[in-house]
Amino acid sequence: MPALQAKGFVVLNAEPKSENASGITTFFTPGKDLAPLHQKLADAGVIASLRTDRKGQNYIRLSPHFYNTDAELQRVLEPL
């Protein structure tokens, strides 16, 4: 999450209580359409979900799992 924040993204629930922690990570840039970035991730072989709230704000949702390697997680950051 700090790597996403360092790239200027807002991370939802970036510092959850441990009982609410999850690997799911959702991030956005206020007012920005993230559809092109979602496509760029897809083109790079990164599976992510593009979500939109009722106000029209796009979010990118990642769902890494314990079996993902550090290299795979770093690969997500390259297209960003």
Convert the pLDDT of each residue in 25-70 to its tens digit: 899 999 899 999 999 999 999 999 999 999 999 999 998 887 888 8
Dihedral over Cα of 8, 13, 19, 25: its sign: negative
Tokens for 11, please give them. Answer: 């991370």
3-state secondary structure of 10: strand
Give the model's confidence band at 71: pLDDT under 50 very low, under 70 low, under 90 confident, else very high.
Answer: confident
pLDDT of amino acid 16: 57
Q: Which element (helix H / strand E) includes 13?
A: none
Q: Which residue type is seen at 20?
A: N
Break the chain into its structural domains and give their ranges. Answer: 2-13+22-66
25 beta partners: 62
pLDDT of amino acid 20: 61
**Cβ atoms within 10 A of the Cβ of 54, count?**
5
Tell me the whole-structure pTM to 2 decimals: 0.82
